Amino acid sequence: MDTYSTLVAAALKVLEEKGEAQFSTRAVCAMANVTAPTLYHHFGNADGLLSAAIAKAFEQFLAGKKAAIQSSDPVVALKQGWDNYVSFAAKRPRLYAAMLARFLQGADLPAARQAFEMLGQRIAAIEAVGRLAIPPEAAIHVAWASANAAALLYVTAAAQSPHQQRRPDAAVVASMRNNAIRSICTPR
């Protein structure tokens, strides 16, 4: 792996272990076994490294989403995409929180745009088969908001102290998904 990729991988690991608030170039340099001037040569500053790491995380997220959606049934594909989104946050809550923060700050993240476009395509496919219960824009908002709400349950759990940390109830998360799908889609 080249130095650039090694630094991005180390930055992702630090984000996953400590979160953005505790992110430090010193920790990244130690993990990547490079000096600070090497990091600054490649990224300019800590924000440049953080931006590259977040962009890489979105690429990983998008690749996972593309692999997870297997069904040709658009409603099932929407459920698979929803589950994949929440699963990413459940497995990598601190990284997900940093990704969402950058997205909400308006960072230019092509993979994030592509993932959101995939959601729009899923909704359009549901509409094409006559199963959309609400207007397409509203359906996109319901799917996006419900997946983010469920994902934030995992972020909140990860932010708690280790002795208080409790994973969200799987039944609650499933209910959030099922309620969103019921509001988006008409029954068969």
Looking up residue 98, the CATH number of its domain turns out to be: 1.10.357
Question: Is the entire prediction scored with pTM above 0.85?
Answer: yes
Segment 84-108 mean pLDDT: 93
Examine residue 152 and state whether it is found in any structural domain, yes or no.
Answer: yes
33: CB partners within 8 A, 6+ apart: none
| Domain housing 66 | 54-184
Q: Where are the alpha helices (DSSP H) in 33-135?
A: 36-43, 46-68, 74-91, 93-104, 110-128
Give the pLDDT of residue 165.
65
The answer to whether position 149 is within a domain reads yes
Residue 157: inside a domain, yes or no?
Answer: yes
Nearest one of 141, 132, 147 to 184, comparing CA atoms? 132
Give the tens place of pLDDT for each residue, 61-91: 999 999 998 899 999 999 999 999 999 999 9
Count of structural domains, the chain: 1
Least confident stretch, 2-11, 96-105, 164-173: 164-173
Residue 163 is predicted with a pLDDT of 66
Residue 47 in any domain: the answer is no
Token digits for 172?
């609650």
The answer to the question of residue 40 being in a domain is no
Q: What share of the chain is helix, strand, coil (3-state, %, to 5)?
A: 80, 0, 20
- pLDDT the model gives residue 161: 64
